[in-house]
Amino acid sequence: MTTAPTPLPADPRHWHDVPHAPLPGTVLGHAHTLADGSVTMAETPDTPGRDGMGVFRYLLLRSGSDVRAYVNRCAHFGVPLAARQDLLKFQPHVRVSCNVHYAHYRWSDGLCTAGDCEGESLLAIPVVIDVDGTIRIAA
């Protein structure tokens, strides 16, 4: 007997509620490939998640030895912050912006500090970094 997956919420409050959220332990990238002060748009290949196979879009932000990961999903309309890496707007170490209606998200915690979704946040993904720089979703 198989168990049907739990329905996903339309307005996710946690990274793991987003469709195709990968499982803990999934590799998101490598710290040594991220320039200091950069924001990198990335996505998983078709990987197994809680709700089956699919692509999951995320952002990696590096500030010194600190690496943060957020779901690439604007809190305003639920769309990616940019369609392509070269269109992504950010101020290194300070903020990343949505280029649809220009909401500003604080680098350190993803809080929207200006824009149509002020007070809401990007969905943070907990990560751990292995000694070789591999970035994984924390358990």
Nearest approach, Cβ of 111 to ligand FES (angstroms)? 14
| Cα 106 to Cα 95: distance, rounded to the nearest angstrom | 5
Which range of residues in 7-15, 28-36, 38-46, 70-78 is near ligand FES by CB under 6 A?
70-78
Residue 122: count other Cβ atoms within 10 Å of its Cβ.
28
CB of 101 to ligand FES, least distance (A): 3
Report how many residues bind ligand FES under the rule CB under 6 A: 10
Q: Dig out the tokens for 94 from the structure.
A: 């300070």
Instruction: Compute CA distances 31 → 34, 67, 111, 127, whole Å.
Output: 5, 7, 23, 11
Candidate list 8, 31, 42, 100; residue touching ligand FES; CB under 6 A: 100
Q: Which is nearer to ligand FES, 21 or 122 (CB)?
A: 122
Report the SS3 class of residue 55: coil
Site residues (vs ligand FES, CB under 6 A): 74, 76-77, 79, 98, 100-101, 103, 115-116
